[in-house]
Amino acid sequence: MAQRRTPGLVKRGNIWHIRKQIKGYGRLNESTGTSDYAEAERYLAHRLNEIRRAVIYGDRPQVLFRDAAAKFIEEHAHLKSLDRTAMAFDAVMPYIGDKYLEQVHDDSLRPYVKHEQKRGISNSTINRNLDAVRRVLTLAARKWRHPNGMTYLAAAPLISRLPEHGKRKPYPLTWDEQARLLPHMPAHLANMVLFALNTGLRDENVTGLRWEWEVYSPELGETIFLIPAEYTKGGALAAARGLREAEPQIVLLNRIARSIVEAERGKHAEYVFTYNGHRVDRMLNTSFKKARVKAGLPHLRVHDLRHTFGHRLAAAGVSLEDRKTLLGHRQQDITTHYSAADLQRLRDAVRAIEKPRRTTMLRVVAQSR
C-alpha cells in the first residue's frame, strides 16, 4: 500500500514547495529547499510548529534572509537598479542566504567581507552589496509583517561600512570644456548630455524620461516634467527604508532644455530620448567614452553633468534650498504643491544658467578607473 502524502507539499521541478492554508494565519507559500520528500515533511512540520507558536503565544516566526531578499525583489521589480541589487544578493547569499534574519549582522557578514577583500574587490563595491542587505533588514524591521501583526525582525542591526579612501571628487565642467566635448558626440547623445547639463537629472532619469510625465503648469504657462517617486533615487530609497511616500521630482525647463524636448517630440510614443526608434539604456556608452577622450577629458563621468548643473546654479546665486529642489534631493518639507511664486523662482533659477558666466574653478582631478 502506497504511503499517504502529507497535505500541503507540492513538487515543482525537483524541489518540494509548501502550499497550505492555515487557520488563523493565512496561506503559507514557500520552498522547502530540498528534493528529498522526508526532509520536506520535516521542514513543513517545523514551519507549522513555528506558526502555531506565533498564533497562540505571539512568538515571531523566523524568516530566512533568502526569502526576505526574494520578497524585496518582487516588490521592487519596477526599479531600473534592481539588476544591481540582485547582483548584490547573489554575492552575499552563500554566506547569509540560509540564515534567519536575526542571524544577519556584522559577525555573520565578516566572512563575506574578508573573502571579497582577498579577491581584490574594492571597498565601495563591498559597501554597495552590504547596503542591499541593510535595506532588506530595515524593511523587515519597519514594514514587513506576519499575519499576527509582528514585524519580520524586532530591530535592524547596524551594518558597518568599510572606509572608502581616495573617493573620486566631482568634476563640474567649465563652459570651454563643454564646448570641446559636445561636437565629438553623435547628435542624439549630445542632446541628452546638454539636457542633463541644464536639468541636473541623473543618467537613468534622462534615458528613461517619458512623455506621459510632461504636464502643463498654468502658473508658468508652459509644460514641466513630474517624474514619479518610484523612478527617482530618493523615492526608491524611501520605499526601501519603509519611509513615508516620497514626492515626484519636478523638472523645470530653461530655454535650452525646452528646445531639446521640442526637437525630440514626435520621434517616439513613450520615451523622450531614443536612437533609431529605441530607448538609449545609458549615456555612458562607447560614444561618450570616445568623446571625452577626444575632448581631453578622459576622467569625465556622466554624474559630473549633474555636478555641473549644481555648480552653475550656485555660481548664479541660487539658494541651497532651491538647488536641492531642482536636483531632486529628498526633503521633508518639500511637496508637489508649489505656489506660482515658487515655480517662477525655480524657473528663473534654471534660466540663469543658460549662458556662460565668468567663474573661477578650483579643483583637483582624480585619476579615473
**What average pLDDT does the segment 116-144 reach?**
92
Is 362 a member of any domain? no
Distance CA 356, CA 342 (A): 25
Query: 36 and 109 share a domain?
Result: no
**CA 184 centroid distance within chain:** 31
Q: Is residue 23 part of a domain?
A: yes
Determine which of 230-239, 244-253, 266-275, 296-305 has the lowest per-residue pLDDT on average. Answer: 230-239
Q: Taking the chain, what is the end-to-end CA distance rounded to the nearest angstrom? A: 68
User: In the predicted model, is pLDDT for residue 333 greater than 50?
Assistant: no
Whether residue 200 sits in one domain with residue 138: no
100: its cell numbers: 534567519
Total count of domains within the chain: 3
pLDDT (average), residues 95-114: 94
Return the closest-CA partner of residue 253 out of 131, 360, 138, 348.
348
Q: Are 260 and 194 in contact (CB under 8 A)?
A: yes
Query: Higher model confidence: residue 192 or residue 282?
Result: 192
* 76 shares a domain with 45: no
How many Å apart are CA 102 and CA 99, to the nearest integer?
A: 8
Mark which of 142, 162, 186 sits at the end of a domain.
142
Of 61, 3, 4, nearest to 30 by C-alpha is 61
Residue 310: count of CB within 10 angstroms of its CB:
19
The answer, yes or no, to whether residue 334 has pLDDT greater than 50, is no
Give this prediction's pTM. 0.59
Out of 235-239, 263-267, 310-314, which region has the weakest mean confidence (pLDDT)?
235-239
Domain presence at residue 263: yes
Higher pLDDT, residue 331 or 309:
309
Residues 6+ apart with CB under 8 A from 126: 113, 116, 117, 162
Looking at residues 305-326, what average pLDDT do you find?
Answer: 94
Residues 113 and 216 in one domain: no
Q: Do 120 and 246 share a domain, yes or no?
A: no
Q: Are residues 181 and 274 in the same domain?
A: yes
Domain span including residue 35: 9-57
Higher-confidence residue of 341 and 337: namely 341
Has residue 156 been placed in a domain?
no
Mean per-residue pLDDT, 260-279 = 95
Residue 160 lies in a domain: no
Mean per-residue pLDDT, 311-318: 95
From 92, 119, 142, give the residue that closes a domain: 142
Q: Do residues 251 and 181 share a domain?
A: yes
Distance of CA 74 to the CA centre of its chain: 14
Is residue 224 within a helix (H) or strand (E), and if so which, with residue range? strand 222-227
Residue 154 lies in a domain: no
Report how far residue 352's alpha carbon sits from residue 357's, in angstroms, rounded to the nearest whole number.
Answer: 10
167, part of any domain: no
Judge whether residue 269 has pLDDT over 90.
Answer: yes
Q: Are residues 266 and 300 in the same domain?
A: yes
> Would 46 be classed as within a structural domain?
yes
44 and 92 co-located in one domain: no
Q: Is 217 left (phi over 0), alpha (psi -120 to 50) or beta?
A: beta
What is the model's pLDDT at position 78? 77
Instruction: Write down the pLDDT at residue 49.
Output: 79
Residue 258 maps to which CATH number?
A: 1.10.443.10
State whether 127 and 209 are in the same domain: no
Does the structure show a pLDDT above 60 at 366?
A: no
